Chains A and B, each alone.
Chain A
């Protein structure tokens, strides 16, 4: 770099630039937080199914579902996307419950298989309600189709 451009100038660009763009990021975050109530389906969380959804999210986390699946595209790429599984399964929580409950305990020879988690009916309902809630978040039209 040429002599006219000094270390002090480089340092000032670093401090000034970082501070400015961090503040811009905070401003955008502030604005996003204001817009989220109309997009993130929070009404469901305070609705009659709210406690089930919260329990479902807890089950989702405590069984590390994200270690195989993606949820709104984030997670592992070993098993199908579940952000829209409620839609893919014909908007049926029963279909979701049935699928989870019917996984063979010892897997399927040679193939990928979801473990058998031995959830009771209440837990299955909670998970299905959680996935239904996720499918109703406004994700800007993603995924491109029902296959996820």
Chain B
């Protein structure tokens, strides 16, 4: 850690990891509710548990993006953060807002929460992933603006690197497209059309810029490869991301009342969306192979390579699997979608954040370069436990999805939704078991911060 103000990132990372653990616990509740339908009913109905699961994910990813920015922007800009106090203040506001929102989900019925937060003044609630009360959404805007201001001024007053510029573009896009969450017309087609401007243009657009910038930063640090080379890769990857991903939004406009030409635009462009992810994989392995030095933080290198592979598999391959409109006609809104969602979010966004945390946390906690051998071993165990169990979660959901699609939509005598659900329960059991192993991975991950912390850090001998 070169600049004192980078230390604010630590708060964000700790809160992110805590929310990650909460997300997984609620994921296990959901998985069980798929099998034991009245589990925790009516105290925590499925929709409430799901809101906690998805909203905790979104908030912790945002927290980790912010932590990553506070860590890497000063280092790239070679200057202290403009206002560290503002970053700290915003952290507590964000954390309190998130905690209050989750408490609201769990303590009140959703309709009471809507009444309590005066949703009728500016109705934005009750849409997937955007379930937060309007007041929380306004809070997110305030936090995002203060964050962008802080990061932006820091970048302006310091060295301008491509990593910082791309990161800033991604973060600005994140804030701008979030504003569409306030547009909620009665016309359902318009509602859905612009809802995707938040959801798709985040995860298949501007978030990939953030992902690319963080990955480039970590690769510069751990491989020592010339910055010029890495920046060229970064530009070409994000170019392909936006060239394919923006019009690729059309793969959500097949069946929601929009004109049918979107079946062509959406299919063709989203079929190209795996390309930037594939380039990212090639990029990461190339840079590590061409490394000019061995970095003692082996765990961070593993996470970086893992991100590149799993993002390609989850977002690229599993996305392509059901993105062509003739296929999507049958798979739309089935467990296939869930399979893709799980691996894509884990591979791209969970893993990139665990990469930067893995790289930065030892430095934030006073190490010179890396954790102790014991800590790194545990962390790498957690990498494999989480990653392999996520592969299996995805495979089991895919199996469930194929059966569901066949029984409910393809077979000669299509069966009702609930009848089909009963028949694919085996896959849900297997998914839940894989989820339990994922939880063991999370526990191992958290343990790696404490067990072995008192041991000396890894120092590389002459190689």
Contacts and interface: CB of A to CB of B under 8 A. Distances in A.
B29 to A, nearest CB: 12
Nearest to A53: B186
Interface in B243-266: 243, 246-247, 249-250, 252-263, 265
A42 B257 CA distance: 11
Given A7-B235, A77-B334, A79-B417, A72 B192 contact: yes
Interface string B102-131: 000000001100110001100101111001
Given A10-B232, A39-B258, A61-B126, A81 B46 contact: no
Interface stretch (B33-41, B85-93, B344-352): B33-41
B333 A110 contact: no
Given A80-B418, A144-B329, A147-B416, A62 B114 contact: yes
Contact of A66 (B128, B233, B259, B418): B128
A42 to B, nearest CB: 6
Interface string A95-122: 0000000000111111111010100000
Interface stretch (B47-55, B74-82, B440-448): B47-55
A87 interface: no
Given A62-B111, A64-B47, A142-B332, A112 B418 contact: yes
A146 B415 CA distance: 10
Given A66-B128, A144-B409, A14 B41 contact: no
B255 A10 contact: no
Contacts of A60: 126
A118 to B, nearest CB: 10
Interface string A13-51: 110011001101100110110011001111001000000
B399 to A, nearest CB: 14
B236 A36 contact: no
A68 B128 CA distance: 10
B110 A39 contact: no
B114 to A, nearest CB: 4
Contact of A107 (B42, B115, B249, B258): B42
Contacts of A112: 33, 37-38, 46, 418, 421
A140 B255 contact: yes
A142 B246 contact: no
B34 A78 contact: yes
A36 B263 CA distance: 15
A13 B235 contact: yes
A114 to B, nearest CB: 9
A110 B110 CA distance: 24
A106 B42 contact: yes
B333 A28 contact: no
B91 to A, nearest CB: 28
Contact of B236 (A14, A73, A109, A117): A14
B100 interface: no
A92 interface: no
B14 interface: no
Interface string B401-442: 000000011100011111001000000000000000000000
Contact of A76 (B42, B128, B238): B128
Contact of B42 (A17, A61, A115, A147): A115
A18 to B, nearest CB: 4
Interface in B357-376: none
A73 B405 CA distance: 13
B46 to A, nearest CB: 5
Given A39-B189, A74-B333, A112-B418, A17 B257 contact: no
B187 interface: yes
B242 interface: yes
A135 B131 CA distance: 24
Most buried by A among B41, B188, B243: B188
Contacts of B114: 61-62
A142 B254 contact: yes
A80 B47 contact: no
Interface in B114-154: 114-115, 119-120, 123, 125-128, 131
Interface in A128-148: 133-134, 137-148
Nearest to B416: A147
Contacts of A53: 186
B193 interface: yes
A67 interface: yes
Contact of A13 (B51, B236, B262, B335): B236
9 contacts: A7-B228, A25-B249, A40-B189, A67-B50, A74-B333, A112-B418, A113-B37, A115-B42, A137-B189
Given A13-B239, A39-B189, A41-B257, 5 more contacts: A10-B233, A25-B247, A32-B258, A74-B128, A140-B263
Interface of A: 1, 5-7, 10-11, 13-14, 17-18, 21-22, 24-25, 28-29, 31-32, 35-36, 39-42, 45, 53-54, 57-58, 60-68, 70-81, 105-113, 115, 117, 133-134, 137-148
Interface of B: 33-34, 36-38, 41-42, 45-48, 50-51, 110-111, 114-115, 119-120, 123, 125-128, 131, 162, 184, 186-190, 192-193, 228-229, 231-233, 235-236, 238-239, 242-243, 246-247, 249-250, 252-263, 265, 329-330, 332-335, 337-338, 408-410, 414-418, 421
